Amino acid sequence: MSGERSLTPEWRSRLVKGGWLTALLVVVVLIPQSLEPIEVLNFVDIMILALAALGLALLVGFSGQVSIGHGAFMGIGAYTTAILVADHGWSWPLATLAAVVASFAAGAIVGLPALRIRGTALALATLGLAVVFPQVIRRYRDVTGGSQGKRVPTRFEAPDWTDMANDQWLYYVTAALLGFSLLLVRNLVRSRVGRGLVAIRDNEVAAETMGVRVAAYKVLVFGLSALFAGLAGSVSVFRTRFVAAGDYDIVLSIELLVIAFVGGIATIAGPVVGALAFHEVRDLIQDRSTELAAVVFGIVLILLVLAMPDGLVGGAKRFWAQVRFRWTSMRGAGETDPAGGGPLGPPDDVTTDGEPSGLSSGPP
């Protein structure tokens, strides 16, 4: 009725979102211009963790299954890259491509048991993978370097035309890969495949009856999930140019789970927020004791499941929806929340629009 109304609530929220995204993009672009190299590399580490956790969030959010072995997929990506670059003279991008293919294939194979039974079978298989992977590396130590580790002599250098320092170039490459992956997952979620996956998670039998190709989709989502972890592992070699068997043990896999759950598997932003929070908190506690950090993260994981199953991002969303609901009901009664959120309604990331929801609303 009034002029303000010509802008529909949907468009208004899109504009706000666009504004925030632009601001975020500016910050992301400016970080390497204004920070010390060591801090820039810290952000690279955070983005690598976010990339790996993104794969995990995709898996938990979509298939309702959990992997305790994503550290191993990260390792597969890292070792593929390191061996190809160091011993076979491949270029970095080609080696990354091979790493991505290798981790996807490994993920699809380990995901096969998930076809037979639901529930915790996949967790079991991936637990085995997490324990076996470092042993495989140790067994073939003449190729992998074993526990001593393997160094990659080739530097990851910025091309001349960029006129950038190596750390800045690494930062932008990592940011671009992460951004592209986030976009890919976001679009996948909203596609036909994404809806099929949600249908499988919520009721497998019903989905199959409706013509969703359950087997293919399940293997696909596990392969994709492993692919992102493998990509993260590959990028981590750009950064450290070093791989060692002990770096890819079960603790890394569990830390990735912590990151995915801290951020929240319900949203695309979750892994990024989770990685940032995890990295900062770990740095904070690690000065005192590495062991204490593990205890804290163990407790945090348990408390999250108990109290805030949708993680920091989900929790913030609910909080925000509540604030908005209060605000609108103060201004005038009867006006409902445009996003359908609010304290009584479901948060706006539940299954209806095809987004992952994971722990916040699993199969009944």
Partner 1 sequence: VDDIPFFFDTLLQGIKFGSVYASLALAIVIVYRTSGLLNFAQGEMAMFSVFLTWQFAAVWGLPIGLAWLAAIACSFVMGAVIERLVIRPVSDHPAGPLAVVIVSIGLFLGFNGLAGYLWGRTGEVLPNPFPATTWDIGGVAVTATIVGSVLVLAVEVVALWFLFQKTKLGLGMRAVASSKESSRLAGVRVGTMLLVGWGLAAAVGTVAGVLQAASIPGNAFDPNLMVGTLVYAFAAATLGGFDSPVGAVVGGLVVGITRMFAQQYVGWIGSDLAVASAFALILVVLLVRPQGLFGRVEVTRV
Q: Does residue 182 belong to the site contacting partner 1 (CB under 8 A)?
A: no
> Do 55 and 70 meet the contact criterion of CB atoms below 8 Å apart?
yes
Q: Does residue 179 belong to the site contacting partner 1 (CB under 8 A)?
A: no
Q: How far is the CB of 270 from partner 1 (least distance, A)?
A: 15
Residue type, 259: I
> Do 103 and 77 meet the contact criterion of CB atoms below 8 Å apart?
yes
Residue type, 8: T
Q: How far is the CB of 101 from partner 1 (least distance, A)?
A: 21
Residue type, 315: G
Residue type, 112: L
The CA distance from 169 to 18, in Å, is: 26
Half-sphere exposure of 236 (CA within 13 A, CB side): 28
> Do 33 and 209 meet the contact criterion of CB atoms below 8 Å apart?
no
The CA distance from 243 to 82, in Å, is: 7
Binding positions for partner 1, 217-256, rule CB under 8 A: 250-251, 254-255
Q: Which of 295, 323, 352, 353 binds partner 1 (CB under 8 A)?
A: 295
Nearer to partner 1, 115 or 184 (CB): 115
Q: How far is the CB of 189 from partner 1 (least distance, A)?
A: 18
Q: Does residue 132 belong to the site contacting partner 1 (CB under 8 A)?
A: yes
Q: How far is the CB of 94 from partner 1 (least distance, A)?
A: 30
Q: How far is the CB of 257 from partner 1 (least distance, A)?
A: 6
Nearer to partner 1, 236 or 253 (CB): 253
User: What angle, rounded to 10 degrees, do the helices at 70-88 and 121-139 form?
Assistant: 30
**Exposure of 119 by Cβ count < 10 A (0-12 exposed, 13-18 middle, 19+ buried)?**
exposed
Q: Does residue 328 belong to the site contacting partner 1 (CB under 8 A)?
A: no
List the one residue out of 331, 330, 324 whose CA is nearest residue 345: 324
> Going residue by residue from 201 to 220, which x/- string records binding to partner 1, judged by CB under 8 A?
----x---------------
Q: How far is the CB of 149 from partner 1 (least distance, A)?
A: 16
Please provide residue 165's backbone torsions phi and psi, each rounded to the nearest 5 degrees.
Answer: -75, 155
Binding region for partner 1 (CB under 8 A) out of 45-53, 84-92, 117-125, 325-333: 117-125
Residue type, 148: Q
Binding region for partner 1 (CB under 8 A) out of 26-34, 154-162, 214-222, 283-291: 283-291
Structure letter (DSSP) for residue 335: P
Beta-ladder partners of 242:
151
Q: Does residue 124 belong to the site contacting partner 1 (CB under 8 A)?
A: yes
Q: Which of 44, 59, 60, 177 binds partner 1 (CB under 8 A)?
A: 60
Q: Does residue 56 belong to the site contacting partner 1 (CB under 8 A)?
A: no
- Signed CA dihedral, 58, 14, 315, 341: sign only: negative
Positions touching partner 1 (CB under 8 A) are 60, 64-66, 68, 110, 112-113, 116-117, 119-121, 123-125, 127-129, 131-132, 135-136, 138-139, 205, 250-251, 254-255, 257-258, 261, 289-295, 297-302, 305-306, 309, 358-364
